[in-house]
Structure 1
Amino acid sequence: MPELEQSLPKYLQIAAYIRDQILRGDLGAGDEVPSERQIAAHWDVSRPTATKALEALRTQGLVESRRGSGTYVLDLYGLHRRARERYQRASQTGRIYPPTERAEIVASELVTAPAHVAEALTLPDGARALRRQRIVFRDDRPVEISVSWYAEAVAERAPLLKDRARIREGTVAYLEGATNRRARHGHDRVSARLADEDELEVFGLAGPAAVLVVRHTVYDMDERPMEFAEAVYPPDAWTFEETYMIH
């Protein structure tokens, strides 16, 4: 277990640790989370603190308590996993998706980069980029449509990107090995818009319908963009960002 810090109450730090396990998919729907007694022992905190940690998870809609049984992860079809959670899972397990999820690569092609992609990847106007599109399924239900973009020079050094096959460790981990560039940080920009016809069909939505859009850019140690991705989620998708103190 990580050490507790002074910046946040202990119960919130414990809740955040368990929440991250749920967001990564380490704990799936129906899995039992640690009990109050287990939390108190593992984290060396009081039972009331452990109780408040589980209550925080219940308030966030992540778990439910069953009298005489325990506390269990809810069925979270509306939950979307951001790149942050997938990077954490890949670094710990070597696989980017949990057992209940899978991705299908539906396109991988070199095309002229749209203006916003060229800007994100710092490419000149009219430059080509590799467009790699995937659909993510959870229990065979589509929960995400995403397109990753790479500069043509990067794609030449990382040839597996051109194949319509899964890269199990994740594209960023693969890029690091293929290009000898180390990813330093990612930047997410979240917005919403109306779904297009293809998105309505994949998600089984009756239009018009709003979708959540996350634009994600990965930068290397020299602040150069390695990957730009756009992920689209159905209208009931949600996630948690952070917990912070006001007073």
Structure 2
Amino acid sequence: MPQIEEAQPKYLQIAHYIRDQILRGDLRPGDEVPSERQLAADWNVSRPTAARSLQALAHQGLVEKRQGSGTYVRNLEVNRRARELYGRARQTGKIYTPGEYAVITSAGWLDAPDHVAEALNLAKGGQAVHRRRVTNNENGPITLSTSWFPPDVGQRAPRLLDPERIREGTLMYVEKATGRQGSYAEDRMCARLVTEEEATDLELESGSAVLIVHHVVYDLQDRPLEFAEATYPPGRWIFEKGYPIT
């Protein structure tokens, strides 16, 4: 018979909590993370368990231990996935960390491509609202993405049609404008060669490999609220999934 999986080990729960803070940008490169003693007290665990959580973060390349000083966030170049962006937006009201910003290259109504229409449960050839953006940091472009929204969302959330940035992020704005709450999301990933347009926007060489993520957000009634297609440049891909081995 199917069995319910047990909760993750405590050291992994601690490591994942700190990892999420790093990926959201709450802990930035050079910041000190809590010590073993502090983690043991905050989480009510033993010192060895706290130490193991820091070791797990080090193995993931997120932190480094400095002898006689402490453990610090490494100088990382990471692309934040949707869940980290949502988490940051809900906590701070801003979707990007200091130094990151998006340039909206186009916004408005378009005929939805077939894969977008299918994801949003639209009739083939139907229209949807799109927002295309290039996200940058001090080193240049880091992600190219296009969000698509069903017609009823576009009609009730007019800022989606404006090329000005929505600092709290499109999903939080859409939730406020429509009253529809995001409930869960699904991601599908694949890799392919960059298109010429993508190469221009991301400042990549022709023939570079890119990661493509199709991201669908559903509301509390299981209706699609947003479809996003994101293109990530090479060398900045992160796949992570923890699971028990039985």
TM-score exceeds 0.5: yes
- Partner of 1:119 in structure 2? 118
Q: Is the 8 A contact 2:103 2:133 kept in 1?
A: yes
% identical aligned pairs: 56
Describe how 1:152-163 pairs up with structure 2 within 5 A. 152-163=151-162
Asked whether the equivalents of residues 105 and 164 of structure 1 are also in contact (C-alpha less than 8 Å), the reply is yes
Give the length in aligned residue pairs.
241
* Higher deviation after alignment, 68-77 or 209-218: 68-77
* Structure 2 letter corresponding to 1:75: N
Q: Structure 1: how far apart are the matches of 2:170 and 2:110?
A: 19
Moved more, 236-245 or 42-51: 236-245
What secondary structure does 1:12 align onto? Answer: helix
The aligned residue for residue 139 of structure 1 is 138
**1:109 Cα deviation (Å)?**
2.3
> Can you give the 5+ residue segments of structure 2 that lack an aligned partner in the other structure?
1-5
8 Å contact from structure 1 (residues 37, 47) kept in 2: yes
Deviation of 1:153 after TM superposition, in Å, equals: 2.8
1:185 maps to 2:153: no
SS at match of 1:211: strand
**Contact 2:85 / 2:96 at 8 angstroms: preserved in 1?**
yes
- Alignment-derived partner of residue 104 in structure 1: 103
Q: Is the 8 A contact 1:81 1:239 kept in 2?
A: no
Spell out, residue by residue over 1:157-195, the C-alpha distance to the aligned partner (whole angstroms, 9 max, x if none).
110000011112211111112112121111111111111
Structure of greater relative contact order (alpha carbons < 8 Å, 6+ residues apart)? 1
- Supply the distance in 1 between the matched residues of 2:239 and 2:13 (Cα, whole angstroms): 14
Give the drift of 1:152: 2.6
Residue 168 of structure 1 aligns to a residue whose secondary structure is coil
CA distance in 2 between counterparts of 1:147 and 1:92 reads: 24
Q: Which moved more, 1:231-240 or 1:185-194?
A: 231-240
2:132 maps to a residue whose letter is Q
Q: Take 1:73 and 1:198, find their aligned partners in 2: how far apart are those partners?
A: 35
Structure 2 equivalent of residue 57 of structure 1: 57
> Tell me, what secondary structure is at the counterpart of 1:16?
helix
Q: SS where residue 12 of structure 2 aligns?
A: helix
Runs ≥4 in structure 1, deviation > 3 angstroms? Answer: none
Partner of 1:38: 38
Structure 1 letter corresponding to 2:70: G
TM-score by length of 2: 0.93
1:231 has 2:233 as partner = no
User: Would you say 1:89 and 2:88 are equivalent positions?
Assistant: yes
> For structure 1, which runs of at least 5 residues remain unmatched after alignment?
1-5
Amino acid in structure 2 at the alignment position of 1:72: Y
CA distance in 2 between partners of 1:232 and 1:35 (Å): 36
- SS for the counterpart of 1:214 is strand
Alpha-carbon shift at residue 140 of structure 1 (Å): 4.5
